[in-house]
Structure 1
Amino acid sequence: MYLVFVMMAILLYASLSRTIFNSPVIWAVEMAQFTMAAYYLLGGGYSLILRGHVRMDVLYTRWSERTRAIVDSFTNILLIVYLLVLLYGSISSTVYSIEYGQTNYSAWAPPLAPIKIIMVIGIVLMLLQTISRSIKDICRAKGIDVAETFGDYLP
């Protein structure tokens, strides 16, 4: 959550540097983009913990708890497949970036390996949280009380 403030500080510095000191920096916009990318990549799993992702409440709120769990289990399977494909691509892209010292095509030319490593970490965390959520939804679909079985500490 605090990465938003880091991004704001970077952009504020770039703005002040350009207008007040008449010394523009070439790295600020890309650094802000990398910070924002890290923010949303690492925030995906946390958003799943809070159940903060968007869903169609038109039908969802009218369904029983069991029907919701069944539908959530199905969509979780689709999400797991998607995340596995994304993870496969991100790992190969990260390995390539590390092996060949890939840099961005800009005047600053920062190395891309750090943000790609963060991308892999974020996808793994989201995948783990999705698997956890899937297990809980399957238990709810079968009528098993998740809080009683796993404890109250689970979201």
Structure 2
Amino acid sequence: MPKVIRGYVRFVDAMNRIIGRFAMYGIFALVGVLLWSSISKTFFTPSLWTLETAQFIMVAYYILGGPYSIQMGSNVRMDLFYGGWTPKQKAWMDGFTVFFLLFYLGVLLYGALGSLAYSIGYFGMEPLVFYKDLIVSFFTGGPDAAVEQMGYLERSSTAWRPYIWPIKLTLALGVFLMILQVLAEFFRDIGRIRGVEL
């Protein structure tokens, strides 16, 4: 395998390992928020922010831990036949089915980017053009020009009314990291087919 591919696989694995190990501790933040929610509902005035914060933490925990889960091979598989195959047969099957997963993740990323654009005030039909214009205005006119490019920031409809863009940004980032990890797994499968372990 070329050095570039080996370097890519090592870099993506290391990055997703760090992010995934960090995201694992989100479960403790989630438990803390839900514990406070129970305590405040029992003894004090119920907090408005706890349920939505717990949902946001769970989304971040799940989506940022996904690439690490794929890397560790701990994602759910239907292995009626797959479990008894040789590593080379598994690599052939994974190398074929990865294209279906990449298509799905590509559609998911496009939807996440469109949803993120909506949450920062873009209501058109071409979110990628909006991001290009946003980046160009940032580098030509500075942060103020980029802020002018954005519109009304979306907020939740609950009583607490937090901004929605941070969790939508986390979702888009998590899907992008998952695409990178799936490509690394694809290169690893090609290596297994060739008899090289990456």
TM-score (norm 2): 0.70
Share of identical aligned residues, percent?
A: 42
Alignment-derived partner of residue 116 in structure 2:
94
Alignment-derived partner of residue 93 in structure 2:
71
What amino acid maps onto 2:54 in structure 1? A
Alignment-derived partner of residue 40 in structure 2:
17
TM-score (norm 1): 0.89
**Structure 1 residue ranges (4+ consecutive) displaced by more than 2 angstroms after TM superposition:** none
**Which of 117, 120, 124 does residue 169 from structure 2 map onto?**
117
Q: Distance in 2 between matches of 1:58 and 1:83?
A: 25
Q: Is 1:134 the equivalent of 2:156?
A: no
5+ residue gaps, structure 2, are 1-23, 122-151
**Which of 56, 68, 74 does residue 78 from structure 2 map onto?**
56
Alignment-derived partner of residue 107 in structure 2:
85
Q: CA RMSD in A?
A: 1.2
Contact 1:77 1:134 in 2 (8 A): no
Secondary structure at the counterpart of residue 103 of structure 1: coil
Q: Distance in 2 between matches of 1:24 and 1:63?
A: 54
**Which of 27, 40, 44 does residue 4 from structure 1 map onto?**
27
Higher deviation after alignment, 96-105 or 24-33: 96-105
5+ residue gaps, structure 1, are 148-155
Q: Distance in 2 between matches of 1:35 and 1:140?
A: 37
